[in-house]
Amino acid sequence: MKINSFKIFQKVIDTGSYSLAAEELGLTQPAVSMQIKSLEEFFDCQLIEKQGGELTLTSGGEIFYRNSREIIKKWEDTRLSISQLKAEPGGQINIGTSTIPGVYFLPKKLTGFQKRFPGIKLKSRHGDSQEMIDCLKQEEVDLIVIGRLLSSDNYRAVPVAEDSLKLIVPKVHTLSQADSPGLADILQQKFVMREEGSGTRKVMLEALEKKGFSLRDLKISCFLGSTEAVIAGVEAGLGISLVSRLAASKAAECSRIKTVELTGLDLQRMLYLVYKKGREREELLGAVIDYLS
């Protein structure tokens, strides 16, 4: 049995479709179906069944799906480690990140990766989410980690961490003592805003739009170019703001600002690893994608 059969099975279940799995793997649908059939013949057990138009795992399929993921990961780790013993040094992967994943998610991940694969050099660059999307499309970086989805069928976005936006106010402020303030309360306050292109800004504006409001309804005191600048602005008394929970928690621990529980807005988001479809099959980049995912 080939390891590729395990990967095809995983892709069918992850996409929920034989045709989508075939498209992402660069295969024909009959070829994918044949691989699944071969697995079922090997185990003498049905692994996938169709119920109500959807693919579902049988009991045997659940066992195979769970264990095959671990087998694939160990295989890829082993293959890459051995290949690096033979390979010439100097392989490099360029990673682009927006502010929050670049500061609070990626460094620890990259440290662990380089300990495991010292032969791969990782180089990162930072900017807002839109800047990193532009860099990816222009092939200036190999992959990006940002706080928003990319609307394009040519790229794949994999969620890698959960985040949310948190209301921050100066240490001495009327809202710091308020009992569960809501949207009406923040609309009355001066607001420090991220610049256009920021993933944080996009999440906040989308939450406002769901409630029938827009940027025009906020009393903007200034637009600033980074999360740290926004926190510094709130600390200085320029207004209140919404920033990543990861950044807000660290600033609050240092007693720079206060965080306040805000009700009535959906401010949850994910951090996404984004790369051009098909590049996960490249040896070096595939190793980085597997590790960060």
Residues 286 and 214 in one domain: no
Residues 229 and 257 in one domain: yes
Nearest to 77 by CA among 32, 120, 36: 120
Q: Which of 85, 116, 135 is the last residue of a domain?
A: 85
Q: Would you say 172 and 256 are in contact if contact means Cβ atoms under 8 Å apart?
A: no
Residues 238 and 258 in one domain: yes
The pTM score is: 0.62
Task: Classify 86 as helix, strand or coil.
Answer: helix
pLDDT at 106: 87
Residues 264 and 277 in one domain: no
Residues 157 and 173 in one domain: no
Q: Which of 19, 52, 85 is the last residue of a domain?
A: 85
DSSP characters for 180-237? S--HHHHTTSEEEEEPTT-HHHHHHHHHHHHTT--GGGSEEEEEESSHHHHHHHHHTT
Tally the C-alpha atoms within 13 A of residue 91's C-alpha that lie toward its C-beta.
Answer: 20
Domain CATH number, residue 122: 3.40.190.10
Residues 155 and 27 in one domain: no
Domain that holds residue 142: 89-161+271-292
Residues 147 and 64 in one domain: no
Nearest to 82 by CA among 119, 41, 108: 119
Residues 74 and 202 in one domain: no
Measured between its terminal Cα atoms, the distance across the chain in Å is 26
Q: Which of 62, 85, 108 is the last residue of a domain?
A: 85
Residues 38 and 79 in one domain: yes
Alpha-carbon torsion angle 219, 223, 226, 229, nearest 10: -80
Residues 196 and 249 in one domain: yes
> How many domains are there within the chain?
3
Amino acid at site 108: K
Residues 281 and 265 in one domain: no
pLDDT at 114: 79
CA 132/CA 30 separation, integer angstroms: 38
Residues 156 and 142 in one domain: yes
State the DSSP code for 103. I
Q: Would you say 8 and 21 are in contact if contact means Cβ atoms under 8 Å apart?
A: yes
**pLDDT means over runs of 10, the chain (293 residues):** 85 89 85 91 92 89 90 78 56 88 86 79 87 91 90 88 91 84 91 89 92 93 92 95 91 92 88 91 83 84
Q: How many CB atoms lie within 10 A of CB 57?
A: 17
